[in-house]
Structure 1
Amino acid sequence: MVNVTIELVKDGNIEQCRQLCNELMAFQKSKAAIAPEAFDSMNFDTRMKKSYESSLESQVIVVKDNGMPVGYVFSTIENIENSKGQYPAWAPKDENSKGFYPEWVNLPNKIGCLNNLYVRDQYRDMGLGSKLLEMSMEWLESFPDVDLIFIYVSNGNDAALNFYLSRGFTFSHDVFGGFIKAIYKFKK
């Protein structure tokens, strides 16, 4: 019998997400049609841990089955004032490539970002992804000075893109020549 719990990480122990984050990066590489090799340098240390340590605020929620992590959601509040126009080292470069942030809006200094949401295959038809999204959105929307929330979906991950679009997010722009799709939602 499945004994699933959902736990908010309160002690900073994000290490329990290492294997899941690495599985997510491998999954994204397997789906990517554009620059799958870029995922070779993406892992728990270079993506989740680095972002967790550099964000203004962060939240990690872990799904466990009998104490074993089987899914997670990682969200942050980011200060983008000094990062507009910057490209991470792993990003595919192209002269016509747009970065993370859209040109269509006057961006605030702070945004919410749902960075990772991952649930292992055998747990996907249990509504856990929806529950994690709901919990993440509640947290992101709790910040009075954050009105805009972004999610960046890797190319080829159409199921994830459709999942977010069906829950009120809107396509914004292609990032790094289509390597990532940026979607957004204004706070309720």
Structure 2
Amino acid sequence: MGNITIEVVNDGNIEPCRELCNELMAFQQSRAVMAPEVFDKMNFDTRMRKSYDHALHTHVVIVRDEGVPVGYAFSTIEEVEQGDDKLPAWAPNQDPAVSKGFYPEWVRFPQKIGFLSNLYLRDGYRSMGLGKKLFAMSMEWLESFDDVDLLFIYVSNGNEDALDFYLKQGFTYSHEVFGGFIKAVYKKRDK
């Protein structure tokens, strides 16, 4: 490990995250105890690029070692409407009696909601405090929006380390999404 730098993407070029995002999807698939095959169709283009292009506001932070991307965090602010909670085609459990969607019943629509969508570091960079730094930078950005009172993070099944990390950072467990394929944590902002 050489010269570690952390930069905020200001020019809209998120392409340096492509390989990292694809690694994250493969990592999540390797950890999944429920429906790992669902990750076969998840990649940079179907997840990060699509979300980046459709979000109201976006924030991407990249960690580089000697200029090579080794980690990133991706956050969004989105205007969520009633009905945005519908089950996507890739959801492994389509039974509405069992499968809650992205939001719990107490969320009122419409509203702007902040999301920490991805946080990933390659092996060898995970115990250097970089994850906490990426998380802190993402939270600072998300909390800079006065009209955003609710933050969500969705954790793939089997990734208990990530879930524990977010709970230790002050987030609260909310519910299982799509019958347990994803676990949702949230934070209400006090103003």
* TM bracket (short chain): over 0.9
In structure 2, C-alpha distance between the alignment counterparts of 1:185 and 1:79, rounded to whole Å: 17
Partner of 2:176: 174
Q: How many residues align?
A: 188
Partner of 2:89: 89
In structure 2, C-alpha distance between the alignment counterparts of 1:89 and 1:68, rounded to whole Å: 35
In structure 1, C-alpha distance between the alignment counterparts of 2:109 and 2:161, rounded to whole Å: 28
Does residue 37 (structure 1) correspond to residue 37 (structure 2)? The answer is: yes
Shift of 1:83: 4.3
The secondary structure found in structure 1 opposite 2:148 is: coil
The secondary structure found in structure 2 opposite 1:11 is: coil
Moved more, 22-31 or 105-114: 105-114
The secondary structure found in structure 1 opposite 2:154 is: strand
Letter in 2 for 1:30: S
Shift of 1:86: 1.6
Shift of 1:82: 4.7
5+ residue gaps, structure 2, are none
Partner of 1:7: 7
Moved more, 92-101 or 70-79: 92-101
After TM superposition, the score normalised by the length of structure 1 is 0.96
Q: Provide the alpha-carbon RMSD of the alignment.
A: 1.2
2:111 to 109, 112, 125: 109
Moved more, 82-91 or 97-106: 82-91
**Conserved? CA contact 2:28–2:156, under 8 Å:** yes
Shift of 1:51: 0.1
Letter in 1 for 2:116: L
Shift of 1:186: 1.4
**Conserved? CA contact 1:84–1:101, under 8 Å:** no
Does residue 144 (structure 1) correspond to residue 180 (structure 2)? The answer is: no
Does residue 18 (structure 1) correspond to residue 9 (structure 2)? The answer is: no
Moved more, 102-111 or 150-159: 102-111
Shift of 1:90: 1.8
Residue by residue over 1:1-40, the C-alpha shift from the partner in whole angstroms, topping out at 9 and shown as x without a partner, is 5210000001111010000000000000000011100000
**Conserved? CA contact 2:87–2:94, under 8 Å:** no
Structure 1 residues 137 and 108, CA gap change in structure 2 (3 angstroms):
farther
The secondary structure found in structure 1 opposite 2:126 is: helix
**Conserved? CA contact 2:74–2:119, under 8 Å:** yes
5+ residue gaps, structure 1, are none
Shift of 1:179: 0.1
Shift of 1:107: 4.7
Percentage of identical aligned residues: 68
After TM superposition, the score normalised by the length of structure 2 is 0.95
